[in-house]
Amino acid sequence: MTSLPSSRPVVRLRPKAEARAIRHGFPWVYADELVLDRRTNALEPGALAVLEDGERRPMGLVTVNPKSKIVARMLDRDTGAALDRAWFEARLAHALALRERLYSEPFYRLVHAEADGFPGVVIDRFGDAAVIQPNAAWAEAHLDMLVAALQAVTGVGIVVKNGTGRARSLEGLTEETLVLKGALDGPVPVRMNGASYMADLTGGQKTGIFYDQRDNHAFAARLAKGGRVLDVFSHVGGFGLAALAAGAESALAVDGSEPALVLAERGAAAMGLAERFARRQGDAFETLEALQAEGERFELVVCDPPAFAPHRQALDAGLRAYERVARLAAPLVAPGGYLVLCSCSHAADLSQFRAASTRGIGKGGRRGQLIHTGFAGPDHPMLPQLAESGYLKSLAFRLD
């Protein structure tokens, strides 16, 4: 699906809208900043349009979705850009060049939405397979072209569409997961930080694995050598398996999802370390309380929960949840051991998350040093003008 530059509609910022931020790289226009007249409201979700400021000066090529709070997303500063296969291939090649410089094997996030010039689009690569999350209406409308360009640039034979999640519902898109190209016969093995993971590309959380934690896995693994590790909210064993690969004595994975724990167990077996791995399915908060009652202690405890504060309305409740995690986890750390706490909440910034974690550690009867602050890996680049693209925080404490 393409549109000719000469036939594109024009949308315009309201007179008092802040055009400077957009000119300086901010990629979104909110519904209260755009003139939503009858003509604009009649545009199909994902339609391409030329954005003008309040004085009718062109600002760039945008995709418009009148049904979304983010009513326009910047695609190209060139208002005459042709959104054809060459456009997609050029941007994908630019993204691929960074990842190939960073990693020796094809396991990484290939496209990180706005930061890679693909608003609302995530693509994770798993060797010969790739998972696309088209979380914006324009990407859904251009999906065939995106898939063709992806295969041409990377050579992947398997392409999965993961059309699930809150972001799609905000765009008015339906949920579905499909294998668009090739075929899958089960979970895909992923090598990372010396560990082996099993990623379910069609039935797992998100795209099947969390590449954003790669560097934080590696740092925590350095603290785990020779010790017992507790990996809470473990998913497919991210921190625990990395710790085992680095020489941890044992790893206990805790998660609410039995299928995810089975995949973690399979990863440990693939590493030849099944005897040093254990799993415990159940509510994380209840399990933390039970482990304390059982007198358990670990040299490294990691808690990597889902986003407790995905939006501003959930911020206060989310910060209380992060504090509770820290309060329950801190007593499980052996004297002189380490506690790693993570947040992937957009709404909770680093200072708020750090304060909540520190309060929780104190209420758990412990004190300690903050020895490391981590973020998402470089295959998850941050668009400087968009704070939301820097969502992941990881704090490592050494407790007295």
User: How many Cα neighbours within 13 Å face the side chain of 90?
Assistant: 9
Amino acid at 305: P
Q: Taking each helix axis from N to C terminus, what angle separates 238-245 and 258-270, rounded to the nearest 10 degrees?
A: 20
- Among 75, 83, 198, 344, the active-site one is 344
CA gap 278, 184 in Å, rounded: 28
Could you tell me which of 106, 249, 64 has the C-alpha nearest to residue 190? 106
Residue 303 catalytic?
Answer: no
Ranges assigned E (strand) in 56-166: 58-64, 70-76, 107-112, 121-126, 129-134, 158-163
Burial label, 386 (beta-carbon count in 10 A; 0-12, 13-18, 19+): middle
CA gap 276, 63 in Å, rounded: 51
Give kind and range of the element (H or E) at residue 84: none
Could you tell me which of 92, 115, 57 has the C-alpha nearest to residue 388? 115
What residues are annotated to the active site? 344
